[in-house]
Structure 1
Amino acid sequence: LKQEVEALKGRVSNVEKAVDDLKKDSDGDGVADQFDKCPNTPAGTVVDGSGCPLKVGLDTAQVHDMINKYGGNGGNKGSVTGTAYANIQFEFDSSVLRTSSYPILDATSADLRASGKTVWVNGYASSEGTAAHNMQLSKDRANSVKTYLVNSGVDAKHLKVKGYGETHPIADNSTEDGRVLNRRVEFKK
Structure 2
Amino acid sequence: MSMFTKCGKSLVIASSVLALSGTAFAQDSTHKVDRVTPFNGVKDYRTWSVGVWGGGSAAFGPFGGPYYFNNFDFNHVGLVYGGYIKKQIFHNFGLQADFMRGQVKGSTKASQSLVDGIKEFKTDIEWSASLSGVLSLGAINWINKQSYVIPYLSAGAGTMAFKPTVETASGKTAVLNSAGKATHQELFIPVGVGAKFVVARGVNIDLGYTMNFVNSKVFDGVNNGSKDKFSTARLGVEFALGNKKKPQLAVVNPAAQVAMDLWDKNAALKNSLAESDARNQAAISQMQQELNSMKTDSDNDGVPDYLDKCPNTPAGTKVDGAGCPLPTPVQVVKEKIVITDADKKVVKDAIDNLEFDLGKATIRANSLPSLDKVASLLVEKNFSLKLAGHTDNTGSATTNMRLSKERAEAIKAYLVSKGANPSRIEATGYGSTQPIASNKTAAGRQQNRRVEFTLY
TM-score by length of 1: 0.54
Alpha-carbon offset, residue 181 of structure 1 = 2.1
Q: Deviations over 1:25-67 (max 9, x none)?
A: xxxxxxxxxxxxxxxxxxxxxxxxxxxxxxxxxxxxx6xx47x
Give the alignment of 1:45-124 within 5 angstroms. Answer: 65=342, 83-85=346-348, 86-87=350-351, 88-124=354-390
Aligned residue for 1:84, secondary structure, equals: helix
Alpha-carbon offset, residue 110 of structure 1 = 1.0
| Cross-structure match for 2:216 | none
Tell me, yes or no, if the aligned pair for 1:90 and 1:184 is still in contact at 8 Å: no
Aligned residue for 1:167, secondary structure, equals: coil
CA separation in 1, counterparts of 2:386 and 2:446?
21
**Structure 1: which amino acid aligns with 2:346?**
T
Residue from 156, 161, 183 that aligns with 2:427: 161
Alpha-carbon offset, residue 91 of structure 1 = 4.1
1:151 aligns with 2:446: no
CA separation in 2, counterparts of 1:157 and 1:94?
25
Tell me, yes or no, if the aligned pair for 1:89 and 1:185 is still in contact at 8 Å: no
Give the alignment of 1:2-41 within 5 angstroms. Answer: none
Tell me, yes or no, if the aligned pair for 2:412 and 2:425 is still in contact at 8 Å: yes
Distance 1:162 1:182, change over 3 A: same
Query: What are the ranges of 5 or more consecutive residues in structure 2 without an aligned counterpart?
Result: 1-340
1:172 aligns with 2:435: no
Higher strand share: 2
1:130 aligns with 2:393: no
Distance 1:170 1:104, change over 3 A: farther
**Structure 2: which amino acid aligns with 1:92?**
L
The number of residue pairs the alignment matches comes to 112
CA separation in 1, counterparts of 2:441 and 2:355?
16
| Cross-structure match for 2:64 | none
CA separation in 2, counterparts of 1:111 and 1:182?
26
Tell me, yes or no, if the aligned pair for 1:121 and 1:188 is still in contact at 8 Å: yes
CA separation in 2, counterparts of 1:175 and 1:91?
20
**Structure 1: which amino acid aligns with 2:380?**
A
Alpha-carbon offset, residue 184 of structure 1 = 1.6
Higher helix share: 1
CA separation in 1, counterparts of 2:433 and 2:388?
11
Tell me, yes or no, if the aligned pair for 1:89 and 1:183 is still in contact at 8 Å: no
Higher relative contact order (CA 8 A, sep 6+): 1
Tell me, yes or no, if the aligned pair for 2:400 and 2:432 is still in contact at 8 Å: yes
CA separation in 1, counterparts of 2:423 and 2:389?
18
| Cross-structure match for 1:140 | 406
CA separation in 2, counterparts of 1:184 and 1:89?
9
Of structures 1 and 2, the larger Rg is shown by: 2
Q: Deviations over 1:94-138 (max 9, x none)?
A: 211011211221111111011111111111111100111100000
CA separation in 2, counterparts of 1:145 and 1:153?
13
CA separation in 1, counterparts of 2:393 and 2:370?
25
Q: Deviations over 1:78-107 (max 9, x none)?
A: xxxx83354234343121101121122111
| Cross-structure match for 1:185 | 451
| Cross-structure match for 2:68 | none
| Cross-structure match for 1:28 | none
TM-score by length of 2: 0.23
Query: What are the ranges of 5 or more consecutive residues in structure 1 without an aligned counterpart?
Result: 1-61, 67-81
